[in-house]
Amino acid sequence: MYFNFHSKQKLLISNNDLDQKAFPLNALLRSREQGIKREPFRKMSQMTSRRAFLSAKAFREDSSIVRPPGSVVPGFVDQCTKCGDCIEACEEAVISLDPQGFPVFQPGDDPCTFCGDCAKACPTDALQIERVVDWPWRAEIQDGTCLSMNGVSCRVCQDNCEQNAIRFELQRGGRATPLLEVDACNGCGACVALCPVNAVALQRQPTLQTEALQ
């Protein structure tokens, strides 16, 4: 083995197994270095990619986001193409887009009637008409925020509940405790949209069914 001083970047290797060939010295040294470092780097890259995938998957499968009636959860975002057909089909205008462009259930002035038009308009399996009756969301009132619990006369949620699921029980000091009958609530969202202090929210309930209105 010897160096060709006319070209300091080349190393001549001669043995019984290899013909005489010229190899760049720097490339040879780099290959030896990479041979040592390549495997740990590859494992680190694989671990990073796996963590990123799991984080993205966890975000995509967030079941706390209220999707339109008939939605398939988990797996909604994998089926949805963000076409917007469900939004156009909703006459009550209770469907909007989240920051990622996926449809979400957002109560407005008119309650959801669970007509199923959004599910019928969906070109994929993200929304299915058969699942509309399995709407798992029901209203939940935060007593600490409710105006009536703080001595302010307010019955907006009760007055606008078509299911008569909300009533108030008078307390001392001019306060009134809101009482919600979960079995009577259908999760239409009217009370959520109309509460002036956002004291009402939709919460997922285990295995509930809603009678679809035709």
Q: Are residues 114 and 153 in the same domain?
A: no
Give the C-alpha separation, 202 to 76, whole Å: 19
Kindly state whether residues 124 and 141 are assigned to the same domain: no
Residue 159 domain boundaries: 137-207
Query: Are 147 and 159 in contact, with CB atoms under 8 Å apart?
Result: no
Same structural domain, 145 and 160:
yes
Say yes or no: 96 and 150 in one domain.
no
CA 155 to chain centre: 33
Tell me: do 84 and 129 sit in the same domain: yes
Residue 92 CB neighbour total at 10 angstroms: 19
Domain boundary among 134, 153, 188: 134
Q: Which CATH number is 147's domain given?
A: 3.30.70.20
**What pLDDT score does 97 carry?**
96
- Phi, psi dihedral angles at 60 (to 5 degrees): -65, -25
Among 134, 150, 169, the domain boundary falls at: 134
> Cα torsion for 106, 112, 114, 118, to the nearest 10°?
-50
Residue at 15 is within a domain: no
**Banded model confidence at residue 61, pLDDT cuts 50, 70, 90:** low
Range with the poorest average pLDDT among 29-43, 65-79, 180-194: 29-43
* pLDDT tens, position by position, 69-128: 999 988 999 999 999 999 999 999 999 999 999 999 999 889 999 999 999 999 999 999
- Do residues 142 and 86 share a domain? no
Q: What's the structural domain count of the chain?
A: 2
Q: Is the pLDDT of residue 29 over 80?
A: no
- Per-residue pLDDT band at 1 (split at 50, 70, 90): very low
Asked if residue 156 belongs to a domain, the reply is: yes
Q: In this structure, is the dihedral angle defined by the CA atoms of residues 137, 143, 144 and 145, taken in order, positive or negative?
A: positive
